[in-house]
Amino acid sequence: MEAEQADTHPVATASRKRLPRAERERQILEVAEEVFATRGYQTTSMDDIAQRVGLSKPMLYEYFGSKDGLLLACLERARRELLESTTAAAANAVGPEQLLHDGLLAFFRFSDEHRQAWALLRNESTVPSLPVNSELESIRSQQVEFTADMLRLSLPNMNEERLEAFAEAIIGACERLAMWRERRPEITPEVATEHLMALVSPSLTTA
């Protein structure tokens, strides 16, 4: 009804044209990730996003099915990026100790450089949607499994249950430390990694 909000310009200038589906989808995803991450999922309406893209709501439903579906698409992209970052780091590590170190560092760097993606992942069960929750759960499993694999290299003799516990605990510690870093900007990814290594590595080298 009333005029457009002051700061929600219809993304860029040239978007007042029909665009091929693939390109629109990328555009929508970009806007959605930003706005979900900064204003929150619940607070954001589909009309908000549509308006920011310079489009009408039904197109979002045409391409992503539902609001959950749109978030899901954002999460899937974030998962890919996170996996790439951590596996790349693991690829050129030397020993088992170094492997864990580099994996942790890659995680903290990810939460640093992809703040929006991290903000989406950090939210637990914001959404009452089964697909979204199982996606979040599966992202976590991915990380836990990744960590467990590293631990298996360091501690080939440890029983499986304890190994699982260690992996879960380390992932939990990572998440909290990443959130801690949001309040303490002077803590670099390197420093955070060092703190966490100081906490866990003694129990890995001795056993």
Partner DNA sequence: TTCAGTAGGTTACTACCGGTAAGTTATGTG
Partner DNA sequence: CACATAACTTACCGGTAGTAACCTACTGAA
Helix or strand (DSSP H, E) at 106: helix 96-113
**Cβ-contact 121, 139 below 8 angstroms:** yes
Q: Residue 177 binds which one of DNA, its own copies, none, with CB within 5 to 8 A depending on kind?
A: its own copies
- Least distance in Å: CB of 171 to DNA? 30
- Using N-to-C axis directions, what is the helix angle for 21-39 and 46-53, rounded to 10°? 130
Q: Which residues of 78-104 are buried (b: 16+ CB within 10 A; e: fewer)?
A: bbeebeebbeebbeebeebbebbbbbb
Report d(CA 101, CA 108) in Å as an integer: 11
Q: Choose the contact partner of 127 out of its own copies, DNA, none; CB within 5 to 8 A by kind.
A: its own copies
User: 26 vs 162, which CB is nearer to DNA?
Assistant: 26
What is the amino acid identity at position 158? M
Print the binding letters for residues 38-77 with DNA: x by CB under 7 A, - otherwise: ------xxxx-------xxxxx-xx--xxxx---------
Report the C-alpha gap between 75 and 120 in whole angstroms.
7
CB nearer to DNA: give 21 or 162: 21
> CB under 5 to 8 A by kind: which of its own copies, DNA, none does 95 bind?
none
Q: Which residues form the interface with its own copies (CB under 8 A)? A: 40, 42-43, 122-128, 161-162, 164-166, 168-177, 179-180, 187, 192, 195-196, 198-203, 206
| Residue 67 contact, options its own copies, DNA, none, Cβ 5-8 Å cut-off depending on partner type | DNA
Q: Using the 8-state DSSP alphabet, how is residue 40 labeled?
A: -
| Contacts to DNA by CB under 7 A | 1, 17-21, 24, 44-47, 55-59, 61-62, 65-68
